[in-house]
Amino acid sequence: MHPLRQLCVESTQLSILCFNFNYDVVELLHRPTLDAGDIFGHVALRVENVDRALKDVAALGVAAEPGTPKPAGTGIGRIGIIRDPNGVKIELLDRPDLRDL
C-alpha cells in the first residue's frame, strides 16, 4: 500500500492517514483520548449515497443510529452509522474518492 493522503481535523484532534493499492483504500484514524478503552472505533465503507444506503439496509431490518445521516467529521461528505450483530459500528460514507480530492 502507498500513502495517499493525510487529513487532519484540528477541532477534534482527529488524524486520518489513507493508504491505497489500486482502488482499495485503508484509513487509519487517530484521536488522542484519555480513555484507553475501546480502541477499535468503527469500520467505514464508502457508498455513492448515504440516504439510499441507509434506506436499503433499513429494508433488511438494520436501523441507522440516531442522529445519522450527518456531516462527516472531516467536513467532506456525509455519514450514516449502523451496527453489525456484535455491536461494531459501521460507518457508511458518501464522500468523493480520496484520489479525486
**CA 70, CA 68: separation in Å to the nearest integer?**
5
Fold classification of 2-31+41-100 (topology level)? 2,3-Dihydroxybiphenyl 1,2-Dioxygenase; domain 1 (3.10.180)
Kindly indicate the confidence band of residue 37, based on its pLDDT and cuts at 50, 70 and 90.
low
pLDDT category of residue 39 using cuts at 50, 70 and 90: low
Q: Which residue from 3, 2, 4, 1 is spatially nearest to 97, judged by alpha carbons?
A: 4
Q: What is the pTM of this model?
A: 0.67
In order of 7, 16, 33, 46, 78, the CA distances from 10 in angstroms are 10, 11, 14, 23, 18
39-48, 57-66, 86-95: the lowest-pLDDT one: 39-48
Residue 54 confidence class, pLDDT cut points 50, 70, 90 = very high
Nearest to 44 by CA among 28, 65, 20: 28
